[in-house]
Chain A
């Protein structure tokens, strides 16, 4: 089973890198872009085959290391590998 994990900055948290990307796009001539927010995408291959237990494990992985919940949210989906 594979976990596809997305980590994004919470609303209201300044995103200097997203802002830099936004400015770069503007300087390249792309129009119609309101805002850019950047985050992380992480894939984790699990040996666990039970979906419930896999969810429990991924939750713990996200909370313990992958996301800093002071500034970040996480979301994930489980797909069969």
Chain B
């Protein structure tokens, strides 16, 4: 498997996700600078977490206009799986690849802790190794993870089964108390209409092996390998 991780000025999870992909999939990872204009052909593109362009103006707003994004969007349209983690999710929304926007957390505080996610959809290249409804423990670390879209967009996402991850409590319910940032309908991750592009606020690369304190995040990367074979 060949993957590309896009590195923006201010990305800070780019090397973590590279290690996670290499260790879980045995694949090769190319680090691609944001000022480049083409992504090498491969099986996966990752937009990593961090604070691209210092989050100036709005999170992800400047990065969405980086030269490399033209080719990322083109390759996404052509069907290459694209994974946007945290800041990467914000960039995908600002680039118009995914609907909605990530706003300032309702608490106005940066939240850094593990959360529980319910896997709502297993028919994406990033969730095929999970069971439907499986609960996964994955860390979040963000100040702007408050997912917002208008009611019509939210209804369409639900109807098309594009809400992939939801914040839930220990009972597996998307209760208000389980919502760490004020996201509409406890949404933690969504996919595009073709189900090839996933954006999520939590960081699966931070818990991919027991040495890190957990390995639930590993299945995101295992899924990519499995979906390539099929």
Chain A residues with CB under 8 Å of chain B are 13-14, 16-17, 19-20, 64-66, 68, 70-71
Residues from 40 to 75 in B contacting A, C-beta threshold 8 Å: 57-58, 61-62, 65
Question: Do the beta carbons of B108 and A17 come within 8 Å of each other?
Answer: yes
* CB < 8 Å neighbour of A65 from B65, B99, B100, B150: B65
Tell me the interface secondary structure of chain B in the complex.
Answer: loop
* CB < 8 Å neighbour of B108 from A16, A64, A66: A16
Instruction: Determine the chain A residues whose CB is within 8 A of the CB of B182 once the complex forms.
Output: 14, 16
Report 22 cross-chain contacts, Cβ distance below 8 Å, ordered by A residue.
A13-B103, A13-B148, A14-B103, A14-B106, A14-B148, A14-B182, A16-B104, A16-B105, A16-B106, A16-B108, A16-B146, A17-B104, A17-B108, A20-B108, A65-B57, A65-B61, A65-B62, A66-B57, A68-B58, A70-B100, A70-B150, A71-B101
Question: Do the beta carbons of B148 and A16 come within 8 Å of each other?
Answer: no
Q: How far is the CA of A71 from the CA of B148 in the complex (A)?
A: 8
Apart from A16-B105, A20-B108, 5 more pairs, CB < 8 Å: A16-B146, A17-B108, A65-B61, A68-B94, A68-B101
Instruction: Determine the chain A residues whose CB is within 8 A of the CB of B104 once the complex forms.
Output: 16-17
Residues from 105 to 150 in B contacting A, C-beta threshold 8 Å: 105-108, 146, 148-150
Tell me the interface secondary structure of chain A in the complex.
Answer: helix
Question: Do the beta carbons of B65 and A70 come within 8 Å of each other?
Answer: no
Tell me the nearest residue of chain A to B144, going by C-beta.
Answer: A16
Asked, given contacts A14-B182, A16-B182, A65-B57, whether A71 binds B103 with beta carbons under 8 Å apart, the answer is yes
Instruction: Determine the chain B residues whose CB is within 8 A of the CB of A65 once the complex forms.
Output: 57, 61-62, 65
Q: How far is the CB of A42 from chain B (nearest CB, A)?
A: 9
